[in-house]
């Protein structure tokens, strides 16, 4: 089944999303973080009080003194102006101290949430990851985690201080200028909020569309680059370029619409705020003409409204950011809410390996409902023996390995290890007991040493070297300039197929599992490399319960038992010699592959 895109971004309720986010902001196990929030909020209050009362009144009183014509009080005016400058500096000082104190809180919340999401993604089933594009998933997580710090800043240090400042300004207007100016200011704020809310909701749909197209473009790009070789094989560079360009063109069109809508929002906001400023100053001028107000009151009203406008001018951007943050975090919480398909049973116990006998008992399984891949498989792999599973493509050979690892749950029957049902043991203990050398070895973009050491956490250097020798790759490593620090490239592409397989063998040796799966471990290799690696594989099989999944029959003639799967059923079983004597499906496959080998040799 091809990977699918994540569901389109949908609208999210603000309060429920924020409620899920608050535990990361106010963690129960981090009292220091809580103290930082309290101190930061006290600094917010101090900043607003100093700016509203200190700066505004100091300037008003200085202007009143200057307009009185009494030059003997020049030193008082100078002191008031110095106080005005000090108040403005204090506001900036408190704001920046607040940021310094609060920054660890935002980073800690981001760390906690990102870690939870990452761990949950690893707990999800193989089915989830096969059906999702990795680029799209990582983009959702990236946006969600980045939105945390921004949302925290705006919610705590823009919205809350703006509400406090509005309350202080209205109180000053009421005491000095009466309820008329209070009412006009409230009407302005309500109109501003309504306009911002209406236009921002309109913009949200444009922004959502833009983000969905952005996610699609990124996922296409990642998918194309991950399949770099395939693109080259089919000379499809121009095709991929056109595909990516079409995705980016759709994104650009949506982005233009989204960004142009900002202009209309800013124009409307400026009209409302400047209307109340003009009206307020006109009101003070009218009162001054009647002897009710002083010249300094013009400065007081202008200063207070201008200070109030500053956060209000940002309110549209703040609301959009919070709204977008809610969308991004909601999409990330959707990933968190995705249930794990494979979970430990409530009474699950660690797997106890005594001998290592593996049994498949009447196993039924299908990746999709109504389409069984396995239709009643009965197999027994006795401790220390090697069972080979062969058959045509699509017979269900590799599915057995995935089921033994419990990447999927059965639809019928059971699998046991030493008579313990694997669905009743912990997944961690089950997978710790099994090692695998897969058909397509994918390595981390790190060093050879790191990739071998991945077999067992905490392995020492001597153990890594010993595993490399066991996999017959130590000689190759020692010939490299950087030896075990040699980087293997994206997915190990700097190594040949045989070298990658030997790294996979080495890390499995380092893990030293009692149960081993060789899943078509040599099918992608040439005959010479296959012959070299077969000896190594057969050496590590000794003393382990081994399941060999193979297409080339020549690689399994040594097996204690060979099982032939066909159409989800066991068609034949026995040793190599026994199956040849039966002259059935296995013998036919052997003869056909022998003929292919002869033709290949003749063609050389």
Output the domain CATH number for residue 579: 3.40.50.300
- Judged against a pLDDT cut of 70, whether residue 77 lies above it is answered with yes
The closest of 426, 467, 429, 432 to 448, measured between CA atoms, is: 467
Half-sphere exposure of 563 (CA within 13 A, CB side): 21
Q: Which residues pair with 386 in a beta bridge?
A: 546
- Phi (first) and psi of residue 34, to 5 degrees: -65, -40
Task: Give the domain-ending residue among 337, 372, 389.
Answer: 337
What the block records as the tokens of 88 is 């403005």
What pLDDT does residue 57 have? 80
What pLDDT does residue 1 have? 40
Which of 38-52, 316-330, 430-444 is least confident?
Answer: 316-330
What the block records as the tokens of 303 is 């200063």
Q: How far apart are CA 461 and CA 203, in angstroms?
A: 57
What pLDDT does residue 530 have? 65
Instruction: Kindly report the number of other CB atoms within 10 A of residue 253's CB atom.
Output: 13
Q: How far apart are CA 320 and CA 322, in angstroms?
A: 6
| CA 90 to chain CA centroid, nearest Å | 41
The answer to whether the beta carbons of residues 587 and 580 sit under 8 Å apart is yes
- Show the domain range for 500: 443-512
The closest of 514, 408, 416 to 125, measured between CA atoms, is: 408
What pLDDT does residue 41 have? 86
What pLDDT does residue 7 have? 47
- Judged against a pLDDT cut of 50, whether residue 5 lies above it is answered with no
The pLDDT of 538-556, averaged and rounded, is: 81
What pLDDT does residue 72 have? 66
Q: What percent of the chain has pLDDT over 90?
A: 0
Q: How far apart are CA 526 and CA 590, in angstroms?
A: 18
- Same domain? 191 vs 234: yes
Q: How far apart are CA 562 and CA 388, in angstroms?
A: 5
Q: What is the number of helices (H) and of strands (E) in the chain? A: 21, 10
Provide the angle, in degrees to the nearest 10, between the axes of the packed helices 56-67 and 295-313. 150
Residue 6 maps to a domain:
no
The closest of 538, 507, 506, 533 to 522, measured between CA atoms, is: 533
Task: Give the domain-ending residue among 337, 363, 380.
Answer: 337
The enclosing H or E element of 413 equals strand 412-417
376: left (phi over 0), alpha (psi -120 to 50) or beta: left
What pLDDT does residue 2 have? 41
- Judged against a pLDDT cut of 60, whether residue 277 lies above it is answered with yes
Give pLDDT tens digits for 392-408: 777 778 888 888 888 88
- Same domain? 217 vs 190: yes
- Same domain? 68 vs 174: yes
- Bigger pLDDT: 386 vs 71: 386
- What does the angle CA 373 – CA 379 – CA 380 come to, to the nearest 5 degrees? 155
What pLDDT does residue 604 have? 55
**Mean of the per-residue pLDDT values of the chain:** 80
Give the position of tokens 């599915």: 399
Task: Specify burial of residue 113 (Cβ count, 10 A radius: 0-12, 13-18, 19+).
Answer: buried
458: left (phi over 0), alpha (psi -120 to 50) or beta: left
Half-sphere exposure of 602 (CA within 13 A, CB side): 6
- Judged against a pLDDT cut of 60, whether residue 554 lies above it is answered with yes
Residue 4 maps to a domain:
no
- Same domain? 218 vs 330: yes
Q: Is the dihedral of CA 182, 184, 190, 193 positive or negative?
A: negative
- Judged against a pLDDT cut of 50, whether residue 64 lies above it is answered with yes
- Phi (first) and psi of residue 434, to 5 degrees: -120, 135
Residue 421 maps to a domain:
yes
Q: How far apart are CA 435 and CA 310, in angstroms?
A: 62
Most confident segment among 128-142, 319-333, 505-519: 505-519
- Judged against a pLDDT cut of 70, whether residue 198 lies above it is answered with yes
Residue 342 maps to a domain:
no
Half-sphere exposure of 560 (CA within 13 A, CB side): 16
Instruction: Kindly report the number of other CB atoms within 10 A of residue 260's CB atom.
Output: 11
- Same domain? 354 vs 429: yes
Q: How far apart are CA 275 and CA 452, in angstroms?
A: 70
- Same domain? 392 vs 487: no
- Judged against a pLDDT cut of 50, whether residue 3 lies above it is answered with no
- Same domain? 566 vs 526: yes
The answer to whether the beta carbons of residues 533 and 437 sit under 8 Å apart is no
- Same domain? 270 vs 406: no
The pLDDT of 330-356, averaged and rounded, is: 80
The pLDDT of 276-303, averaged and rounded, is: 83
Q: How far apart are CA 351 and CA 49, in angstroms?
A: 64
- Judged against a pLDDT cut of 70, whether residue 318 lies above it is answered with yes
- Judged against a pLDDT cut of 80, whether residue 144 lies above it is answered with no
- What does the angle CA 95 – CA 101 – CA 107 come to, to the nearest 5 degrees? 115
Instruction: Kindly report the number of other CB atoms within 10 A of residue 306's CB atom.
Output: 12
Q: Is 339 helix (H, G, I), strand (E, B) or coil?
A: coil
- Phi (first) and psi of residue 518, to 5 degrees: -110, 100
What the block records as the tokens of 138 is 């990582």
Q: How far apart are CA 401 and CA 434, in angstroms?
A: 10
Task: Give the domain-ending residue among 279, 306, 337.
Answer: 337
Residue 459 maps to a domain:
yes
Task: State the pLDDT confidence band at 601, using cuts at 50, 70 and 90.
Answer: low
Residue 519 maps to a domain:
yes
Q: How far apart are CA 580 and CA 390, in angstroms?
A: 14
What pLDDT does residue 66 have? 81
Question: What pTM was estimated for this model as a whole?
Answer: 0.62
Sheet containing strand 374-381, strands side by side:
374-381, 358-365, 412-417, 420-421
Q: How far apart are CA 123 and CA 119, in angstroms?
A: 6
- Same domain? 288 vs 357: no
- Same domain? 324 vs 366: no
Q: Which residues pair with 517 in a beta bridge?
A: 436, 547
What pLDDT does residue 6 have? 47
- Judged against a pLDDT cut of 80, whether residue 35 lies above it is answered with yes
Give the position of tokens 């309290």: 38
Give the position of tokens 């080495």: 506
Q: Is 176 helix (H, G, I), strand (E, B) or coil?
A: helix
- Judged against a pLDDT cut of 60, whether residue 491 lies above it is answered with yes
CATH number at residue 40: 1.20.1560.10
- Same domain? 236 vs 333: yes
Residue 7 maps to a domain:
no
The pLDDT of 159-185, averaged and rounded, is: 86
What pLDDT does residue 529 have? 63
Residue 363 maps to a domain:
yes
Number of domains comprising the chain: 3
The pLDDT of 134-159, averaged and rounded, is: 72
What pLDDT does residue 480 have? 86
- Same domain? 422 vs 478: no
Q: Is 496 helix (H, G, I), strand (E, B) or coil?
A: coil
The answer to whether the beta carbons of residues 545 and 360 sit under 8 Å apart is no
- Phi (first) and psi of residue 402, to 5 degrees: -65, -35
- Judged against a pLDDT cut of 60, whether residue 4 lies above it is answered with no
Instruction: Kindly report the number of other CB atoms within 10 A of residue 485's CB atom.
Output: 13
């Amino acid at each position: 089944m091809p990977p699918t895109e994540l569901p389109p971004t949908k609208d999210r309720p603000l309060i429920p999303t924020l409620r899920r986010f608050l535990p990361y902001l106010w963690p129960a196990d981090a009292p220091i973080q809580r103290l930082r929030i309290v101190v930061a909020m006290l600094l917010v209050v101090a900043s607003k009080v100093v700016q509203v009362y200190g700066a505004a009144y100091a300037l008003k009183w200085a202007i009143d003194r200057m307009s009185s014509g009494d030059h003997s009080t020049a030193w008082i005016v100078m002191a008031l102006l110095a106080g005005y400058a000090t108040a403005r500096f204090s506001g900036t000082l408190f704001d920046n101290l607040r940021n310094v104190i609060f920054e660890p809180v935002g980073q800690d919340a981001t760390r906690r949430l990102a870690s939870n999401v990452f761990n949950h993604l690893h707990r999800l089933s193989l089915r989830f990851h096969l059906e999702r594009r990795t680029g799209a998933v990582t983009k959702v997580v990236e946006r969600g985690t980045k939105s945390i710090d921004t949302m925290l800043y705006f919610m705590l240090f823009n919205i809350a201080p703006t509400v406090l400042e509005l309350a202080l300004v209205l109180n000053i207007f009421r005491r000095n200028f009466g309820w008329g100016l209070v009412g006009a200011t409230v009407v302005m704020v309500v109109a501003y909020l309504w306009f911002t809310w209406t236009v921002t909701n309109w913009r949200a749909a444009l922004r959502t569309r833009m983000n969905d197209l952005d996610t699609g473009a990124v996922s296409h790009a990642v998918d194309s680059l991950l399949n770099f070789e395939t693109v080259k094989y089919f000379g499809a560079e121009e095709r991929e370029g056109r595909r990516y360009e079409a995705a980016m063109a759709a994104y650009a069109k949506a982005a233009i619409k989204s960004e142009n809508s900002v202009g209309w929002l800013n124009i409307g906001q400026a009209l409302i705020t400047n209307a109340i400023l003009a009206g307020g100053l006109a009101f003070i001028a009218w009162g001054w003409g009647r002897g009710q107000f002083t010249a300094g009151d013009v400065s007081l009203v202008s200063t207070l409204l201008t200070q109030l406008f500053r956060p209000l001018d940002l309110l549209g951007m703040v609301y959009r950011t919070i709204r977008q943050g809610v969308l991004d975090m909601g999409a990330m919480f959707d990933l968190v809410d995705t249930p794990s398909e494979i979970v430990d049973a409530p009474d699950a116990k660690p797997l106890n390996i005594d001998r290592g006998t593996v049994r498949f008992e009447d196993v039924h399984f299908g990746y999709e409902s109504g389409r069984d891949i396995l239709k009643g498989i009965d197999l027994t792999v006795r401790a220390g023996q090697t069972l080979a599973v062969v058959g045509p493509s699509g017979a269900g050979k590799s599915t057995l390995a995935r089921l033994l690892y419990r990447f999927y749950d059965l639809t019928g029957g059971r699998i046991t290890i030493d008579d313990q049902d694997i669905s009743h043991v912990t997944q961690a203990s089950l997978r710790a007991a099994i090692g695998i050398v897969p058909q397509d070895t994918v390595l981390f973009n790190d060093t050879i040493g790191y990739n071998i050491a991945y077999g067992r956490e905490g392995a020492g250097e001597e153990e890594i070297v010993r595993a490399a020798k066991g996999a017959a790759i130590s000689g190759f490593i020692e010939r490299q300039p950087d030896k075990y620090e040699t980087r293997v490239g994206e997915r190990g592409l700097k190594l040949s197929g045989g070298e990658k397989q030997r790294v996979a063998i080495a890390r499995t040796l380092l893990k030293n599992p009692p149960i081993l799966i060789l899943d078509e471990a040599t099918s992608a290799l040439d005959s010479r490399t296959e012959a070299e690696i077969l000896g190594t594989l057969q050496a590590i099989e000794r003393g382990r319960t081994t399941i060999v999944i193979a297409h080339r029959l020549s690689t399994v003639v040594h097996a204690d038992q060979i099982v032939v799967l066909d159409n989800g059923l066991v068609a034949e079983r026995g040793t190599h010699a026994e199956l040849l004597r039966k002259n059935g499906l296995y013998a036919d496959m052997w003869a056909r592959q022998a003929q292919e080998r002869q033709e290949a040799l003749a063609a050389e």
